[in-house]
Structure formats: structure tokens, C-alpha cells
């Protein structure tokens, strides 16, 4: 497909962009990039899992404003919109991570409120585009591989996180179709990179790296043949900014991933190899009920609509991430 080239530095210079979940892993990288592109960033986070240190590179920038607020409370979101003109919204704030979801399932559903409030206020205040971080969990256990946006969904009634993301996607589509608010839902597969939570409440790359760097074997739930797709955070941010600026992505749901899934055993081996600790054979534990067996995104729509292919290989991304964990022991 032919792509009109939009220079994000020109398109975003001086624009006001609201980023929710900005003190989290992906939101903080997105905030860094938006500031570098000349945007004014209003970073919102309730600091439930996010950390201010993630924003240390931009906190003092004149175009950066941090507001501590809970986006699941209407009054708090209304105050943010009441005081300033917002051009664009990235709604990334959410309770995420497998362990959090298992331990606090009913809290996950509260995030539906935040999506509703942000959409309503974005529409009422003339926001030009609204991007939502959905998830591959919207597919549930896939019925067909690779997973295509227009293909079948198999959401599990037991997974509040996937269900919440699906409701969010549908609300975004409603606001586009009924009210003409330009929206795009991005179905992130596994994103990884510096700053990602690596405690037991974190994500597989960080968890494995922490283990290996402390001389322990990575722990795998299940037999290790389950597949996941990994997207380095810089690529993820670039894709999200393209989605923001691409009119052709309005009203669409788009997979965001590498399209090159690996098994979890293979991931553990690559991380051990990057750390020079191939002697650390993974330890295997029983499968967790909530976990999905296969993830494999079809990234055709992402490439067609956004004209972008991830640039950072898994090996390179793992090397960069490992360096960060080494220097943030
Ligand atoms: N990291 C991944 O692999 C991945 C994959 C699929 C989807 N996603 C989605 O991408 C988004 C960002 O994920 P992440 O990995 O950066 O997670 P994260 O936990 O690092 O960041 C989420 C941020 O949202 C904040 N937050 C949570 N609830 C909030 C609320 N009610 N009000 C204000 N702030 C709130 C948290 O404090 C945190 O800083 C999330 O919506 C997540 O569901 C992430």
C-alpha cells in the first residue's frame, strides 16, 4: 500500500498529548518520544504500579506536566480536561500483568470505567484522535493461527483482563462510528525493554533476566512450548505514533507485534545466551490456568495501514534490555 509520509515531528510539534499510564513501562517510553518530537505531554498516572523514576528523563522538561490521578474516577478525569485543550489521547493506564490479574480480578473490570470516561470527555472536548492499548488477550486462546484482527475471537470468561480490553475496543469503535471520534485500538502482543517490571508481578523477559543475572535458572510455567511474540518497546512506540497520525487507521483494531513468535523455552535460552549463562537450564512448574498456549500475530494490517515493520531484532532487543537490567540491579 502507498503511504503518504507524515513527519511526526512536524505533526506533533506544539500539540498537547494526554498519556495515561505514563509512569508505567510503555507509557514512559512513549512520553520520552513525544517530548523529543516537540509535543506537550500531560502525563497522568495513579502510581499504582508505575514509578516516577521512569519519567526522570522528561520530568523537568518545560513541555512536560505530570498529574497524579485515577482515570477510573470521573471527577479526576474531568478536572484534567476542564483545565486545558487536549489534541490527542493515548490511553495506556490499566491494571496489567498476569499475577496482578490473577490476584485482583474484580479491580481489572474498573478499568472499563476509565475507558468510558476518557472517550466521553475526548468526544466532548474535540480530541483529534484517541489511541487505546488493547492486548492480544482479546483473542483468548486462538482458534486460528496466525491471529488476524478480523478472524475469530475466543475470549475466556475467566479472564477479566482480555474481556476488559475487548469492551474497550468496542467502545472505541462505537465512538468512531456513532460520534466520529477518530480512534484506533492497538492489540499489543508482548512488549519488552528497559524499565519493564521484573518482579513476580512483572513480565516474562524482565523476570527471566533478573533470575539469570542473579545466577538462578528461569522458571517456566508449563512445558515451555507455548509461544509468544515479542516487540521491542521503541518499535512499539513508533507504531503507536504512526497509528495516531494515520487517518486510514481510524476505527480500526490493529495487531502490534513482530510476527515472529518464539517458544518460551527458546526465549529463556536466548536470554541465558545473551547473559553468557547457558548453563542455567530452565526450571519447569505446572501451567497457570489463565495462560494461553499460542500467540502468533498476523502483522499484515499493521504493515499495510501504518507502513512500518519492527526494526529491532529479538536478539538485539534482548541485548539492550539486559544491559539496562545490569545497570539497574
Ligand atoms: N507490556 C505488555 O507486554 C503489554 C501487552 C499488551 C497490552 N499492554 C497494555 O499496554 C498498556 C501499558 O502497559 P505497561 O506494560 O506499560 O504496564 P505498566 O503496568 O507498566 O503501566 C500501566 C500504568 O498505568 C497506571 N495505572 C493503572 N491504573 C490506573 C488508573 N486507574 N489511573 C491512572 N493510572 C493507572 C499504572 O500505575 C502504570 O504506571 C496497558 O494498558 C497494558 O494493558 C501491555
- The residues, ordered by sequence, that sit 6+ positions from 79 with a Cβ below 8 Å of its Cβ are 69
Q: Please, what is the angle between helix 204-213 and helix 264-274, to 10°? A: 40
Within a domain: 136: yes
Within a domain: 174: yes
Predicted confidence band at 293 (pLDDT cuts at 50, 70, 90)? very high
94 Cβ closer than 6 Å to some ligand 1 atom = yes
Within a domain: 116: yes
**Domain CATH code at residue 21:** 3.40.50.720
- Dump pLDDT digits (tens) for 203-226: 999 999 999 999 999 999 999 999
Predicted confidence band at 157 (pLDDT cuts at 50, 70, 90)? confident
Q: Verify whether residue 161 is a known catalytic residue.
A: yes
Residue 125 has pLDDT above 80, yes or no: yes
107 Cβ closer than 6 Å to some ligand 1 atom = no
Do residues 299 and 230 lie in contact, with contact meaning Cβ atoms separated by under 8 Å?
Answer: no
Range(s) of the domain holding residue 103: 8-189+232-257+297-310
Q: What is the DSSP string of 235-265?
A: HHHHHHHHHHH-GGGTTEEEEES-S--EEHH
188 Cβ closer than 6 Å to some ligand 1 atom = yes
Within a domain: 199: no
Distance, in Å, from the CA atom of 155 to the CA atom of 152, rounded to the nearest integer, reads 10
Within a domain: 31: yes
- Dump pLDDT digits (tens) for 28-42: 999 999 999 999 999
Model pTM above 0.85: yes
Within a domain: 118: yes
Within a domain: 2: no
Q: What is the pLDDT of residue 288?
A: 83
* Domain count of the fold of the chain: 1
Which range (3-7, 282-286, 324-328) has the least confidence? 3-7
Within a domain: 141: yes
Amino acid at each position: 500500500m502507498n503511504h503518504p509520509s507524515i513527519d511526526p515531528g512536524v505533526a506533533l510539534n506544539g500539540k498537547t498529548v494526554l498519556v495515561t499510564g505514563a509512569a508505567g513501562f510503555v507509557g514512559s517510553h512513549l512520553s520520552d518520544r513525544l517530548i523529543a518530537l516537540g509535543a506537550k505531554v500531560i502525563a497522568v498516572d495513579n502510581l499504582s504500579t508505575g514509578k516516577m523514576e521512569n519519567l526522570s528523563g522528561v520530568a523537568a522538561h518545560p513541555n512536560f506536566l505530570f498529574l497524579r490521578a485515577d482515570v477510573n474516577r470521573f471527577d479526576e478525569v474531568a478536572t484534567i480536561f476542564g483545565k486545558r485543550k487536549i489534541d490527542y489521547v493515548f490511553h495506556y493506564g490499566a491494571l496489567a500483568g498476569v499475577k496482578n490479574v490473577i490476584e485482583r480480578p474484580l479491580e481489572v473490570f474498573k478499568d472499563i470505567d476509565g475507558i468510558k470516561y476518557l472517550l466521553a470527555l475526548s468526544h466532548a472536548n474535540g480530541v483529534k484522535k484517541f489511541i487505546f492499548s488493547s492486548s492480544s488477550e482479546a483473542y483468548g486462546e486462538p482458534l486460528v493461527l496466525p491471529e488476524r484482527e478480523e478472524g475469530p475471537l475466543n475470549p475466556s470468561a475467566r479472564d477479566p483482563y482480555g474481556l476488559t480490553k475487548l469492551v474497550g475496543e468496542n467502545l472505541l469503535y462505537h465512538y468512531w462510528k456513532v460520534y466520529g471520534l477518530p480512534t484506533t485500538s492497538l492489540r499489543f502482543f508482548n512488549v519488552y525493554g528497559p524499565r519493564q517490571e521484573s518482579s513476580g508481578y512483572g513480565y516474562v523477559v524482565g523476570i527471566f533476566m533478573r533470575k539469570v543475572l542473579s545466577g538462578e535458572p528461569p522458571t517456566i510455567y508449563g512445558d515451555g512450548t507455548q509461544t509468544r511474540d515479542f516487540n521491542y518497546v521503541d518499535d512499539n512506540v513508533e507504531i503507536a505514533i504512526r497509528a495516531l497520525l494515520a487517518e486510514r487507521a481510524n476505527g480500526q483494531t490493529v495487531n502490534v507485534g513482530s510476527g515472529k513468535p518464539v517458544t518460551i523455552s527458546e526465549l529463556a535460552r536466548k536470554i541465558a545466551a545473551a547473559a553468557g549463562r547457558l548453563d542455567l537450564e530452565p526450571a519447569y512448574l505446572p501451567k497457570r490456568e489463565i495462560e494461553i498456549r499460542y500467540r502468533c500475530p498476523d502483522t499484515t494490517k499493521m504493515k499495510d495501514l501504518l507502513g512500518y515493520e519492527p526494526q529491532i531484532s529479538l536478539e538485539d532487543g534482548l541485548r539492550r534490555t539486559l544491559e539496562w537490567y545490569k545497570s539497574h540491579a
